[in-house]
Structure 1
Amino acid sequence: MRPIMRKTPSDVSPVMLAALRRVLGSLVRILLGYGIRYPVLLELLKSEFVRAADLDFSLGHRAQSDSRISLLTGVHRKDVRRLRAQPPGEDEAPASVSLGGSIVAKWLATRQCVDSRGRPAPLPRLRRQGGERSFEALVESVSKDMRSRVVLDEWLRLGVARIDDADRVCLNVSAFVPKKGLDEKAHYFGRNAADHLSAIAANLAGPEPRFVERSVHYTRLSAAAVGKLAQLAERDGMKALHSINRRAAELKAASGRTQGPLHRMNFGIYFYSEPEAEPPSTGRTRRA
């Protein structure tokens, strides 16, 4: 059970408030960009406040009351009752993501499907062209219910793969990050941003960091320097992703023979840059 710590704005650390304002600023830009206005966000916030209080701040085996959740969250008891009565929202990945992600992971974890540097090698499109080392065989190894042509058509639509002049399927190095398809992009946005924030929350809550969460931050760089660093981050970051993916595939195969609860994990990389704001002028303006 977590203790209830009700704070007024004056009780909260100014540094924490500044950090939250910065995070919310990025989120609000996404909302406005997709036409999601404040009333929609407010309803989502109410729902998540109630859900988190109900699940993460319970009193052991005692049932949660609407009054306690209202006291903990500041959400009106009438809204608490309404929101608790609603069925949970859908959280399933689009079919193209759940199946596609498994196929990409298998492609990158299979040594005969990557080159000497661990990058995805082009695969003959059909089994009759490449045997077991073909895109058709790869898809069938992951799902017997989905034809490889259907998967390929969707990947071509999303920009995840392309067909070369030798009729081979070429996986984009950055897969699985669709260039098109809002549902697919939104799924990865929700999963990765939520997991990143969850890792931060766990590290903030404990005396020792539970999860890896590191970054390198520089200012006063030229645009050319940032471009070179972005290429370096892409190259070395993909090496790390491929390494973790291969090892995870090996360990997952071994986990099927062990007892005990199963877990999920998420490992990712990111790179961001923007022009620096001009420092405010300290000189006084003289009148003519």
Structure 2
Amino acid sequence: MPGDVPRSLEPAKLHAPLARLLRPLVRLLIRSGVTFPMLTELLRELYVNVAEYDFALPGKEQTDSRVSLLTGIHRKEVRRLRGAGAPVNAVPATVSQTSRILARWLADPDFSDGDGHPLPLPRTADPSRPSFERLVASVTRDVRPRAVLDEWLDRRLVVIDDQDRAVLVEAAYVPRSGGDQQLYYLGRNLHDHIAAAVTNVEAPSPQFLERAVHYDGLTKELAEQLQQRSREVAMQALQKLNREAHAVSDGAMPGRWRWNFGVYVYSEEVVPPFSAGGPSEHNNQEPGT
């Protein structure tokens, strides 16, 4: 962890990228009823927490005075806020359970085909063939497979076909809008993307792959065509890496590291005066950072 505040960047240089980064989050906050004072209190807690733990000097106890110096927050407020704040790494039990079962269904050769497509699974265990009951039991024994199946049927993650088999539907790949799972991954995935980019900015040379292909000056039809193709290519990459990660990690000794590979696709209409120029200036491709 850094022991002191790095001064490789002037604060003013961060204003423009921060404004662009935070704009969609501010839009979400306003729509969700999170007011500016509420956000201010959260930021105050985070500033104190990060300064307390990420900028502690080796072998020295972090003091209220130093946290106040690093953050610009008054010492009385620092004293009140140290140790406060909600846990940022907590994973809702239902999110963890669902993700682990889905990952195994899509990766384990016992439950998927060679291309990573999930097999239809009979409901109950059979020693001679895979089943939904075996799938759940291979991940957790804390819940009954029937309870998981009932929940997934209610959430429309699976359907029962005419052979009484559980069939994973495509919607299972996408968390329900506004649900606990989607909100958890909002924080997790954005955190990891931003953390990778920040690490690359602070490091002498980039440590993480963090690139994008981007074209400007497109028609709506072409943007939609590229978006659909991007989804296909991205899902192929995600499914392939899920299978490989499952193969090397299943049964391996546990460790303290985690790994995240993510893909995002985005398109929007750029309306003047926000557009910097016409298609002739911006119809290009770059590996962006």
Could you state the TM-score of these two structures normalised by the residue count of structure 1?
0.86
Matched with 2:51 is: 53
**Secondary structure at 1:256's aligned position in 2?**
coil
Q: Please, which of 208, 213, 230 is the counterpart of residue 211 of structure 1? A: 208
**Secondary structure at 1:216's aligned position in 2?**
strand
Q: Among the aligned pairs, what percent are the same residue?
A: 42
CA 1:269 to 1:141, structure 2 compared with 1: closer, same or farther past 3 Å? same
1:2 Cα deviation from its structure 2 partner: 3.3
Q: For 1:166-181, what aligned pairs fall within 5 Å after superposition?
A: 166-173=163-170, 175-180=172-177
Q: For 1:195-274, what aligned pairs fall within 5 Å after superposition?
A: 195-253=192-250, 255-256=252-253, 261-274=255-268
CA 1:263 to 1:6, structure 2 compared with 1: closer, same or farther past 3 Å? closer
CA 1:154 to 1:63, structure 2 compared with 1: closer, same or farther past 3 Å? same
1:7 Cα deviation from its structure 2 partner: 11
CA distance in structure 2 between the aligned counterparts of 1:66 and 1:182, rounded to whole angstroms = 38
RMSD across aligned C-alpha pairs, in angstroms? 2.5
CA distance in structure 1 between the aligned counterparts of 2:144 and 2:128, rounded to whole angstroms = 16
1:187 matches 2:184? yes
Structure with greater contact order relative to length (CA < 8 Å, sep ≥ 6): 2
1:172 Cα deviation from its structure 2 partner: 3.3
CA distance in structure 2 between the aligned counterparts of 1:278 and 1:180, rounded to whole angstroms = 31
Q: For 1:151-162, what aligned pairs fall within 5 Å after superposition?
A: 151-162=148-159
1:280 Cα deviation from its structure 2 partner: 7.9
Q: Is residue 116–residue 243 contact of structure 2 (8 Å, CA) maintained in 1? A: no
CA distance in structure 1 between the aligned counterparts of 2:250 and 2:183, rounded to whole angstroms = 29
1:217 Cα deviation from its structure 2 partner: 0.9
Matched with 2:280 is: none
1:180 Cα deviation from its structure 2 partner: 4.8
CA 1:278 to 1:197, structure 2 compared with 1: closer, same or farther past 3 Å? same
CA distance in structure 1 between the aligned counterparts of 2:88 and 2:272, rounded to whole angstroms = 44
1:175 Cα deviation from its structure 2 partner: 3.8
Matched with 1:276 is: 270
Q: Is residue 6–residue 72 contact of structure 1 (8 Å, CA) maintained in 2? A: no
1:77 Cα deviation from its structure 2 partner: 1.2
User: Which range moves more in the overlay, 84-93 or 110-119?
Assistant: 84-93
Question: In the comparison of the two structures, how many residue pairs are matched?
Answer: 274
Q: Is residue 127–residue 134 contact of structure 1 (8 Å, CA) maintained in 2? A: yes
Q: Is residue 119–residue 173 contact of structure 1 (8 Å, CA) maintained in 2? A: no
In structure 1, what residue type is equivalent to 2:108?
A: T
Q: Is residue 105–residue 245 contact of structure 1 (8 Å, CA) maintained in 2? A: yes
In structure 1, what residue type is equivalent to 2:78?
A: V
1:136 Cα deviation from its structure 2 partner: 1.4
CA 1:30 to 1:158, structure 2 compared with 1: closer, same or farther past 3 Å? farther
Matched with 2:131 is: 134
Q: Is residue 158–residue 178 contact of structure 1 (8 Å, CA) maintained in 2? A: no
CA distance in structure 2 between the aligned counterparts of 1:2 and 1:75, rounded to whole angstroms = 19
CA distance in structure 2 between the aligned counterparts of 1:262 and 1:89, rounded to whole angstroms = 18
Matched with 2:80 is: 82
Which structure 1 residue ranges, 5 or more long, are not aligned? 282-288
Q: For 1:99-114, what aligned pairs fall within 5 Å after superposition?
A: 99-114=97-112
CA distance in structure 2 between the aligned counterparts of 1:160 and 1:92, rounded to whole angstroms = 24
